[in-house]
A and B are shown apart, each in its own frame.
Chain A
Amino acid sequence: MQEEARPDAALVGLENVPHTGEAIGADGLLVEPQAEDFRSAKLVPRERDWFKGAVFYEVLVRAFSDSNGDGTGDLRGLASRLDYLEWLGVDCLWLPPFYASPLRDGGYDISDFRAVLPEFGSVEDFVYLLDEAHRRGIRVITDLVLNHTSDAHPWFQQSRIDPDGPYGDYYVWSDDDQRYADARIIFVDTESSNWTYDPVRGQFYWHRFFSHQPDLNFENPHVQEAMLDTLRFWLDLGIDGFRLDAVPYLFEAEGTNCENLPRTHDFLKRCRKVVDDEYPGRVLLAEANQWPSDVVEYFGNAEVGGDECHMAFHFPLMPRIFMAVRRESRFPISEILAQTPQIPDGCQWGIFLRNHDELTLEMVTDEERDYMYAEYAKDPRMKANIGIRRRLAPLLENDRNQQELFTAMLLSLPGSPVLYYGDEIGMGDKIGMGDNIWLGDRDAVRTPMQWTPDRNAGFSSCDPGRIYLPVIMDPVYGYQALNVEAQLNNQSSLLHWTRRMIEVRKQHHAFAEGDFTDLGGSNPSVLAYRRRWLRPDGHEDVVLCVNNLSRFPQPVELDLSEHHSSRPVELTGGVVFPTVGDLPYLLTLPGHGFYWFQLVEAGDDSEPR
């Protein structure tokens, strides 16, 4: 029977490329592609803490650029746009999964960890992308799902047909569906149990997500080794790191909710050790959609500067920024930052305004959910800001001042900013009239990047009927008016503005690693904070950020007594503001206006920079 069923039978489109399960060795193990089979990319010169100051850019391979005219973006297409990303100031690309996949969960259902989804290209194309990016000083990270695989993965196919073979124990099998009853069901809309019966093996298998995504059995040391080897495969090719998806769920234990278990952390420490010992300078970013005080667990031991993930997303900050501007009150932001614990020295938050997926309310604590519901309860425009997929520009009613204010906060609050592709030109989304905005449409924010006013927005040369999603064509956000080419030619465009702000951010390391102090102030509509960084030369780099969350002009008096006699120098224009004196420092801001200043100490005659 084993001879009849090919383990790679469920893989699609990989016939002519190396893939897992092409053959079975004498020991019963599947033959898998090895890094040595491919060329490796040249690395960016090593720099330990590069991620702490990096500007990340999330780009969907499918949506960015199509090199072969088949209507779908691909790795070669993305590589051809790297000059643009370099010009913009991007330091690191974050690519959602581009692995072989049946695409029943946006590519997070991986059917072969060592092959590229054919429509995106090949492993060789990925190495080409890496080389081209690294040549420009741009790093690349991607998502890796540790917790589960697609049911099409040859490991699962082997596991179900050969319980006693080497893969028999790769997944969590059980004779009944009663174990781990305390684990919640994440996708309550589509799944009724965390167990699904497999008629082939005659047992139930465990899955925290969709039933077509069986959980790997991390109790099995071979699974742990196999996943570490998966990391090594891509790291050997030259990748700069991973966003580890769904990390809280790796292990199960009876009587627990099967989340954040100590053994899960133990495994992450193993992953980190592999990186530190064998691939220093590469990063691990945890996807743990949880409260900051819980997420810090994924940085690991603070005494050694962190020994699990280097980075984690700060999820609640994003909806709080929207709430603060709607409320014209800084408290939603000040509160969440006050509740954010210190993180280990070697770590950094990732912060974002938008990404391909949003905060879902079931992921936050009951208290926060009540708070959010109470705050968002009646306002349809506020509801639209959380839990659904919309782009920044339409959320802000295409208001340029607000887009600038939000981006200025993203680039100056503590954490490495993650831009979402297209938001730098203010792209729109595809929310059909009458859609249920709560369920949302995942594709709404995944439309093709708008490069030019030409056919298919310059994204692809294909017949418009073949494009994976139609380009946006409405009068406001349509590609004829809104595209990279047009904005490149206009010095006052959002694109040029964004590039300039990124440039300014990079001139002051205080934005990256400076400590953060909320300056408070008597005006609730003004959020003012200080970032302070001790430069290696012993001088302090002090940056002052003042944001008017209100649509109306506002005054604010700030207590800058610690910086008596300093000169505030505005960072975009270099204008020197009045020296800080005995009185509280008075500033006035236009509606949704903001300032970035460097505070230059009296006697420091060095050029403000």
Chain B
Amino acid sequence: MDVTEPHDLVDKVMAELPEWLPAQRWFGGKDRPVTSIRPLRAVVLRSEEPVLVHLVVEVAQPDRQEPYQLLITDHVDNYDATQVPELTGALLDLIAEGAEVDGLRFAHEPDVELQTGLRGRPITSEQSNTSIVFGSQYILKLFRKLTYGDNPDLVLHRALRQVGCEHIAQPLGSITGRLDGHTTTVGMLQQFMPDAVDGWAMATTSVRDLMAEADLHADEVGGDFAGEAQRLGQAVASVHADLERALGTQSANAENIERTVRAMVSRLDAVVASVPELRPYVPALREAFEQAKETPDAVAVQHIHGDLHLGQVLRTVQGWLLIDFEGEPGSPIAERVELRSPLRDVAGMLRSFDYAAHQLLVGQPEDHQLTVRALEWSRRNRAAFTEGYAEAASESVGDPRKRGYLLRAFELDKAVYEVAYEHANRPEWLTVPLSSIARITGEGAVQS
């Protein structure tokens, strides 16, 4: 290739983007056609060969326009500089220097000293963003679809670092740009955990062990996960307590709760319209949502994780960490930064245990024995998680089991969301949230 001038490179990339962009895993607009793409801003980070350009483009699609971040180079055929170790190392060096290039600001967090000169290695497993690992020390997350303003992931990580939270990967630096007049987070550098395993892999290892035993129960097998689940519950509660300490807590009033319930009901109405399998549970679901209003006393709301599940927690040799405080990527930013009950996170994790327990059964012929085992595992680990959470919960949040109605409503709401998701994407999995809804509505809430 003989492209040398950065602006030639930008032109060339712009010409190919309509083809290239929809093929990227992290592209969030695959559901509709791309109408047009225009460059918003290009910053040349390196003008000699190989060229490195930071490019923000606006992708227009029917009913939406969204900015995306690209790092491009002439060094590789597909222009994607995040895959080129020689180039990504420069990003780390810029953060360490605290450099500012043409409005793009690279900064390390206060009191952080970074080792430079490390090669960057892209992580292949990521869905909606692109992460690069430097040596075994750092990980840089480049947000692909940009949201104006400070990214909640960075905001919450900073707040947690300030109060000395032990259950996060420490934030070490950031990259921010100006976008439409807003200071916007485009990247976050964190401590990398080379020894970490995500909670989903840990949990499914345990389920696999149980399913392979013909005669032993969930509390008897060697692969029992309850100890881990309990420590995980403690970690989540302690992160909530730290968020409360750093950013405060409020008391939700009746109107807030009313609005929350209304949102649940309207989601239910929307989903049942397209998923007839949900219909038989509608009355019970409505009743469960209504009961959420019957809370004995004030409900605390605060900053929470917002999209907590087993894939968002890491087991390290020091214990459990929570990652990705971005909130549900699908929901609007206003909703993501809203103060919400920590019980939403608890509910998200409880749903995740249910998924982990049943994932091996999906697409398999009905097997009563294995179904019973899965249920056993789910009950045992959900209970252990909740127990651990209660042990470490802050005073304002308290024992989740004492708010059984609210917790149940959050969990059912999440399950209704899953029904919609599975119906659209993985029809075989639809039985997982549906059978949970059947069970939870049939059993009533945990009240103690």
- A residues lining the B interface (CB < 8 Å): 325-329, 331, 334-335, 338, 371, 374-375, 378-382, 518-525, 550-552, 559, 561
Given contacts A520-B195, A521-B197, A550-B208, 5 further A-B contacts (CB under 8 A): A328-B222, A335-B317, A378-B224, A522-B198, A559-B136
List A contacts of B227 (CB < 8 A).
371, 374-375
List A contacts of B246 (CB < 8 A).
none
15 contacts between A and B (CB under 8 A): A325-B222, A327-B206, A327-B223, A328-B208, A328-B222, A378-B220, A378-B224, A379-B224, A518-B195, A520-B194, A522-B125, A523-B197, A524-B197, A524-B201, A559-B194
| Interface status of B196 (Cβ within 8 A of chain A) | yes
List A contacts of B108 (CB < 8 A).
none
Could you say which of B119, B224, B317 contacts A334, with CB atoms under 8 Å apart? B317
Contact B221 A379 (CB under 8 A): yes
List A contacts of B136 (CB < 8 A).
559
A329/B205 contact (C-beta < 8 A), A524-B197, A551-B212, A552-B212 known: yes
| Interface status of B121 (Cβ within 8 A of chain A) | yes
Could you say which of B205, B222, B315 contacts A382, with CB atoms under 8 Å apart? B222
Could you say which of A329, A380, A550 contacts B202, with CB atoms under 8 Å apart? A329
List B contacts of A338 (CB < 8 A).
195, 317-318
Could you say which of A378, A520, A524 contacts B205, with CB atoms under 8 Å apart? A524
Instruction: Return A271 CB to nearest CB of chain B, in Å.
Output: 35
List A contacts of B125 (CB < 8 A).
522
Instruction: Kindly supply a per-residue 1/0 record for chain B positions 202-242, scoring 1 wherever the CB is within 8 Å of any chain A CB and 0 otherwise.
Output: 10011011001000000111111001001000000000000
A523/B212 contact (C-beta < 8 A), A334-B317, A338-B317 known: no
Contact A523 B195 (CB under 8 A): no
A379/B220 contact (C-beta < 8 A), A331-B315, A559-B194 known: yes
List B contacts of A521 (CB < 8 A).
197
Query: B197: nearest residue on chain A (CB-CB)?
Result: A524
List A contacts of B315 (CB < 8 A).
331, 524
List B contacts of A523 (CB < 8 A).
197, 201
Scoring B121, B205, B315 by chain A CB atoms within 10 A of each residue's CB, the highest score goes to B205
List B contacts of A559 (CB < 8 A).
121, 136, 194
A520/B196 contact (C-beta < 8 A), A378-B219, A379-B222, A559-B136 known: yes
Query: B216: nearest residue on chain A (CB-CB)?
Result: A379
List B contacts of A524 (CB < 8 A).
197, 201-202, 205, 315
Instruction: Return B139 CB to nearest CB of chain A, in Å.
Output: 12
Going nearest first, the 8 A-B pairs with the smallest beta carbon separation are A326-B222, A520-B195, A338-B317, A524-B197, A520-B194, A378-B219, A374-B227, A335-B317
* Cα distance, A524 to B228, chains bound together (Å): 13
* Cα distance, A552 to B205, chains bound together (Å): 10
List A contacts of B193 (CB < 8 A).
520
Within 8 A of A (CB), among B180-199: 193-198
Q: Number of B residues whose C-beta is below 8 Å from A?
A: 28
* Cα distance, A184 to B74, chains bound together (Å): 72
List B contacts of A382 (CB < 8 A).
222
List A contacts of B197 (CB < 8 A).
331, 520-524
* Cα distance, A371 to B227, chains bound together (Å): 8
Contact A525 B205 (CB under 8 A): yes
* Cα distance, A550 to B202, chains bound together (Å): 12
Instruction: Return A602 CB to nearest CB of chain B, in Å.
Output: 17
List B contacts of A331 (CB < 8 A).
197, 315, 317
Instruction: Return B401 CB to nearest CB of chain A, in Å.
Output: 20
Instruction: Return B20 CB to nearest CB of chain A, in Å.
Output: 22
Instruction: Kindly supply a per-residue 1/0 record for chain B positions 370-387, scoring 1 wherever the CB is within 8 Å of any chain A CB and 0 otherwise.
Output: 000000000000000000
* Cα distance, A525 to B136, chains bound together (Å): 21
* Cα distance, A528 to B201, chains bound together (Å): 17
Instruction: Return A261 CB to nearest CB of chain B, in Å.
Output: 32
List B contacts of A378 (CB < 8 A).
219-220, 224
List B contacts of A334 (CB < 8 A).
195, 317
Could you say which of A327, A380, A520, A522 contacts B201, with CB atoms under 8 Å apart? A522
Query: A552: nearest residue on chain B (CB-CB)?
Result: B208
Within 8 A of A (CB), among B147-198: 193-198
* Cα distance, A329 to B197, chains bound together (Å): 10
* Cα distance, A331 to B201, chains bound together (Å): 13
* Cα distance, A325 to B223, chains bound together (Å): 9
List A contacts of B219 (CB < 8 A).
378
Contact B201 A326 (CB under 8 A): no
List B contacts of A326 (CB < 8 A).
222-223
List B contacts of A329 (CB < 8 A).
202, 205, 223
* Cα distance, A379 to B213, chains bound together (Å): 13
List B contacts of A552 (CB < 8 A).
208, 212
Instruction: Return B113 CB to nearest CB of chain A, in Å.
Output: 22
Instruction: Return B80 CB to nearest CB of chain A, in Å.
Output: 15
List B contacts of A525 (CB < 8 A).
205
Instruction: Return A265 CB to nearest CB of chain B, in Å.
Output: 30
* Cα distance, A520 to B318, chains bound together (Å): 13
List A contacts of B198 (CB < 8 A).
522
A327/B208 contact (C-beta < 8 A), A334-B195, A334-B317, A520-B195 known: no
* Cα distance, A326 to B223, chains bound together (Å): 6
* Cα distance, A375 to B136, chains bound together (Å): 30
List A contacts of B222 (CB < 8 A).
325-328, 379, 381-382
Query: B201: nearest residue on chain A (CB-CB)?
Result: A524
Instruction: Return B284 CB to nearest CB of chain A, in Å.
Output: 34
Query: B222: nearest residue on chain A (CB-CB)?
Result: A326
* Cα distance, A327 to B209, chains bound together (Å): 8
Contact B121 A328 (CB under 8 A): no
Instruction: Return A586 CB to nearest CB of chain B, in Å.
Output: 12
Instruction: Return A422 CB to nearest CB of chain B, in Å.
Output: 25
Instruction: Return B87 CB to nearest CB of chain A, in Å.
Output: 14
Instruction: Return B199 CB to nearest CB of chain A, in Å.
Output: 10
Query: B195: nearest residue on chain A (CB-CB)?
Result: A520
List A contacts of B223 (CB < 8 A).
326-329
Instruction: Return A523 CB to nearest CB of chain B, in Å.
Output: 7
List A contacts of B194 (CB < 8 A).
519-520, 559
* Cα distance, A551 to B222, chains bound together (Å): 12
Instruction: Return B380 CB to nearest CB of chain A, in Å.
Output: 10
Query: A381: nearest residue on chain B (CB-CB)?
Result: B222
* Cα distance, A542 to B194, chains bound together (Å): 19
List A contacts of B121 (CB < 8 A).
559, 561
List B contacts of A518 (CB < 8 A).
195, 317
* Cα distance, A334 to B317, chains bound together (Å): 6
Contact A561 B209 (CB under 8 A): no
Within 8 A of A (CB), among B5-20: none
Instruction: Return B144 CB to nearest CB of chain A, in Å.
Output: 22
* Cα distance, A559 to B197, chains bound together (Å): 14
List B contacts of A371 (CB < 8 A).
227
List B contacts of A522 (CB < 8 A).
125, 197-198, 201
Contact A561 B317 (CB under 8 A): no
Instruction: Return B122 CB to nearest CB of chain A, in Å.
Output: 10
* Cα distance, A335 to B196, chains bound together (Å): 12
List B contacts of A327 (CB < 8 A).
206, 222-224
* Cα distance, A521 to B119, chains bound together (Å): 19
Query: B85: nearest residue on chain A (CB-CB)?
Result: A582
* Cα distance, A559 to B119, chains bound together (Å): 13
* Cα distance, A458 to B318, chains bound together (Å): 51
Instruction: Return A414 CB to nearest CB of chain B, in Å.
Output: 15
Instruction: Kindly supply a per-residue 1/0 record for chain B positions 86-121, scoring 1 wherever the CB is within 8 Å of any chain A CB and 0 otherwise.
Output: 000000000000000000000000000000000101
Within 8 A of A (CB), among B270-289: none
Contact A328 B317 (CB under 8 A): no
Query: A373: nearest residue on chain B (CB-CB)?
Result: B227
* Cα distance, A550 to B207, chains bound together (Å): 13
Could you say which of B119, B212, B220, B224 contacts A561, with CB atoms under 8 Å apart? B119
* Cα distance, A262 to B211, chains bound together (Å): 53
Within 8 A of A (CB), among B297-334: 315, 317-318
Instruction: Return B206 CB to nearest CB of chain A, in Å.
Output: 8
* Cα distance, A335 to B193, chains bound together (Å): 14
* Cα distance, A331 to B193, chains bound together (Å): 14
Query: B199: nearest residue on chain A (CB-CB)?
Result: A524
* Cα distance, A520 to B209, chains bound together (Å): 21
